[in-house]
Amino acid sequence: MIKHIVLWKLDEAYSATEKKEILSVFREKLEALRGKIEGLQSLVVNFNEHSAPTGNYDIMLETTLESMAAIEAYQVHPEHMKVVDFVNTLKRQRACIDFEF
């Protein structure tokens, strides 16, 4: 099994209200991937606590996939690519880690 964790930081130009709305839509789009991608075992989305330091990342995606081959298939899956297209218009930074457990 492979844990795939991604963090995103949104552009700082967004107001708190705009950011809250964006994060809500982002969560919906990510959670809609459940059951649509073979090899995707679990998916959890979390937001940075509003009272945490502003330098923190804004959103975290934690997924469990069957294998590195499943991650490779996930990366190019059409449903995943829709989310990628959405987030690429919003993000300032992205960090990712994949590890076997």
pLDDT at 62: 98
Contact criterion met (CB below 8 Å) for 89 and 8: no
Q: Is this structure's pTM higher than 0.85?
A: yes
CA count, 13 A, side-chain hemisphere, 59: 26
Number of domains in the chain: 1
pLDDT at 42: 98
- 17-40: burial string, b at 16+ Cβ within 10 Å, e else: eebeebbeebeebbeebeeebebb
Per-residue pLDDT reduced to its tens digit, 15-37: 989 999 999 999 999 999 999 99
pLDDT at 38 (0 to 100): 95
- 74 lies in which domain range? 2-100
Mean pLDDT in each 10-residue stretch from start to end of the chain (101 residues)?
Answer: 97 90 96 96 95 92 98 97 94 95 94
- Model pLDDT, residue 84: 95
Q: Domain of 74: which CATH number?
A: 3.30.70.100
The predicted pLDDT at position 99 comes to: 98
Q: For the chain, how are helix, strand and coil distributed in percent, rounded to 5?
A: 35, 35, 30
